A and B are shown apart, each in its own frame.
Chain A
């Protein structure tokens, strides 16, 4: 067992990355992830590893590209506006098949928004973000412990598939303090014979590149990527299911909102309401199959997000009309309240009506809206 300490999510992510053998970190200050870059500034140089405060997020992600091309475990972190700037670089990482770990501690948007927690970057994270046909593996931790564990895992997953991995947290996950057990890790990165630099010892020259003007080459690469994504879909989905067996209504939420939903579940069960919870841990690959299976038994689903409704589209795709999908969300830094979720549950279960509750407490017809 490792040591048990009290840490902020941002710090736990940084420490887990260090233990997982991150050799180079590049970042640019932005709230609410500043504790992460400050932790790296303090600890990476002490270990003889690379820390650079880059001049911008654009520079930081390109430094990651370079370090990854050289075969290093490398990482960057930011929050929503900065992650938007990194999208170009992320697309290039995928195109050149470079492993890297990217952390997004989301805040309210669009634009400069605010520094409150948000889940409004779901589409950007899971449905592209940059240009081209690609996916990142997206992990959504809901505790500080899970943030640390998933970060450590991310480096292995990124290396295994030669694809970037995204840790998607929010201002609460990044800044709250919780006890966390940090285990010793023996980093075991696979050999990277494709990397550039280092003694060649007679090997053929390597090339890190995302371009080809030769007919059919890029299409061929995309088919290769597709095979990779299919393998990820097979091997990597992660989710948590609570009390779904007998549920009349299943809540679906990730990250911070799943914590709120767990409390709602407890209150609802105490009142005799049969409520369950599905918490996707990987947002891509999305656990479509588990949700589809649940939809054969349970007729009502309520998706709760800190957004205007993004993951709800994947839930609709998963249930394909087998169950009713309701939604409750608060955008721009708003945090769903337990009593509002309880109210919509009562409304749906008692009146068998579609609905969503806005921040102002009015029930609107979700399907019609």
Chain B
């Protein structure tokens, strides 16, 4: 076979500029970005797409993504995305948020964007910690998990609250068309994540309303773990707390099946 016959079947997305990733070794953000980039390429959306960068570690997405990026105040991404989508209904709007951004300071914005059935797609990266600010408790921090603002471990009985399950929380809203929870701790789960995000893309492209995929992800640095250990933590500790699978399909609630 000559060189010219060779077909590229795998490789880095062309939307990923040749710049170093700002993420720590073993971080899930890069994998989720890759999946999103591949889908944007596959659907040829790059020419009319806005990537909504949150306040969190992925705020730096603009440094290496060859996409229009809009960065908003902490937690306000769903509101800003609403403004963009209502102004430009033909633009593909991808909102990317962390757990502090979406499930703490931005709960009002995400609930109401979902409730209005905004035709946007949200990828919600749940790493059970505040990464960017150095490891404080997140609304999704597991019971007993330590963080700088719960040095003795998260304890609901002491008034620190319970882990918030965003898929379950948003399930009841009629504006929501598609909801799923996935993970990126093994290649098989990365493939499922891609399938789920693809369905979420389809919802927006068919103007069917609000879609969200929650992705369980690792933050080895702030969990104080080695990268491989952190993947086990996702499988053994996070997944039982946050069951994987689809929660809503075509606007109909379903029971999640991993």
> Residues of A at under 8 Å CB distance from B?
28-31, 34, 37-38, 41-42, 45, 52-53, 55-57, 81, 111-112
Supposing A41-B151, A52-B159, A112-B73 touch, asked if A34 and B134 sit within 8 A by C-beta, the answer is yes
- Contact mask B8-37 → A, CB, 8 Å, 1/0? 000000000000000000000000000000
A41 proximity list for chain B (CB < 8 A): 148-151
Query: Top 9 nearest A-B pairs by Cβ distance?
Result: A56-B105, A29-B136, A41-B149, A38-B148, A29-B133, A55-B104, A53-B149, A42-B151, A29-B130
B107 interface contact, C-beta 8 A: yes
Least distance between B98 CB and chain A CB atoms (Å): 12
Supposing A29-B130, A53-B137, A53-B160 touch, asked if A37 and B149 sit within 8 A by C-beta, the answer is yes
B209 interface contact, C-beta 8 A: no
B158 interface contact, C-beta 8 A: yes
> Residues of B at under 8 Å CB distance from A?
55, 59, 71, 73-75, 100, 104-105, 107, 130, 133-134, 136-137, 139, 148-152, 158-160
B75 proximity list for chain A (CB < 8 A): 56
B55 proximity list for chain A (CB < 8 A): 112
A-B contact pairs, 8 of them (CB 8 A): A29-B149, A34-B148, A37-B149, A42-B151, A45-B152, A52-B159, A55-B107, A112-B73
Supposing A29-B149, A41-B151 touch, asked if A55 and B159 sit within 8 A by C-beta, the answer is no
- Report Cα–Cα, A280/B160, bound state, in Å: 40
Most buried by A among B133, B151, B158: B133
A interface SS class: mixed
Residue contact A55 to B134, C-beta cutoff 8 Å: no
- Report Cα–Cα, A81/B160, bound state, in Å: 24
- Report Cα–Cα, A28/B107, bound state, in Å: 14
Residue contact B133 to A31, C-beta cutoff 8 Å: yes
Residue contact B136 to A53, C-beta cutoff 8 Å: yes
In the complex, the chain A residue whose C-beta lies closest to that of B59 is A112
A112 proximity list for chain B (CB < 8 A): 55, 59, 71, 73
B151 proximity list for chain A (CB < 8 A): 38, 41-42
A30 proximity list for chain B (CB < 8 A): 133
- Report Cα–Cα, A28/B137, bound state, in Å: 10
In the complex, the chain B residue whose C-beta lies closest to that of A43 is B151
Supposing A29-B149, A38-B148 touch, asked if A81 and B74 sit within 8 A by C-beta, the answer is yes
B74 proximity list for chain A (CB < 8 A): 81
- Report Cα–Cα, A38/B151, bound state, in Å: 8
- Report Cα–Cα, A279/B105, bound state, in Å: 37
Supposing A29-B149, A34-B134, A41-B149 touch, asked if A81 and B107 sit within 8 A by C-beta, the answer is no
- Report Cα–Cα, A75/B130, bound state, in Å: 22
- Report Cα–Cα, A37/B133, bound state, in Å: 12
Residue contact A37 to B104, C-beta cutoff 8 Å: no
- Seed contacts A38-B136, A56-B75; 4 additional CB < 8 Å A-B pairs: A38-B148, A38-B151, A41-B151, A55-B139
Least distance between A57 CB and chain B CB atoms (Å): 8
Residue contact B104 to A34, C-beta cutoff 8 Å: no
A81 proximity list for chain B (CB < 8 A): 73-74
- Report Cα–Cα, A13/B107, bound state, in Å: 30
In the complex, the chain B residue whose C-beta lies closest to that of A35 is B148
A53 proximity list for chain B (CB < 8 A): 136-137, 149-150, 160
A34 proximity list for chain B (CB < 8 A): 133-134, 136, 148
B152 proximity list for chain A (CB < 8 A): 45
Least distance between B110 CB and chain A CB atoms (Å): 12
Residue contact A45 to B158, C-beta cutoff 8 Å: yes
Least distance between B57 CB and chain A CB atoms (Å): 13
In the complex, the chain B residue whose C-beta lies closest to that of A56 is B105
Select B105's contact among A37, A38, A55, beta carbons within 8 Å.
A55
B107 proximity list for chain A (CB < 8 A): 55
Least distance between A32 CB and chain B CB atoms (Å): 10
B104 proximity list for chain A (CB < 8 A): 28, 55-56
- Report Cα–Cα, A53/B136, bound state, in Å: 9
Least distance between B128 CB and chain A CB atoms (Å): 14
- Report Cα–Cα, A81/B101, bound state, in Å: 14
- Report Cα–Cα, A42/B136, bound state, in Å: 12
Least distance between B95 CB and chain A CB atoms (Å): 17
A31 proximity list for chain B (CB < 8 A): 133-134
In the complex, the chain A residue whose C-beta lies closest to that of B151 is A42
Supposing A55-B105, A112-B55 touch, asked if A37 and B134 sit within 8 A by C-beta, the answer is no
B137 proximity list for chain A (CB < 8 A): 53
In the complex, the chain A residue whose C-beta lies closest to that of B133 is A29
B159 proximity list for chain A (CB < 8 A): 52
Least distance between B152 CB and chain A CB atoms (Å): 8
- Report Cα–Cα, A41/B130, bound state, in Å: 15
- Report Cα–Cα, A217/B139, bound state, in Å: 43
Least distance between B147 CB and chain A CB atoms (Å): 9
- Report Cα–Cα, A264/B152, bound state, in Å: 46
Least distance between B99 CB and chain A CB atoms (Å): 12
Residue contact A37 to B71, C-beta cutoff 8 Å: no
Most buried by B among A52, A56, A57, A111: A56
In the complex, the chain A residue whose C-beta lies closest to that of B132 is A31
Least distance between B136 CB and chain A CB atoms (Å): 4
Residue contact A38 to B149, C-beta cutoff 8 Å: yes
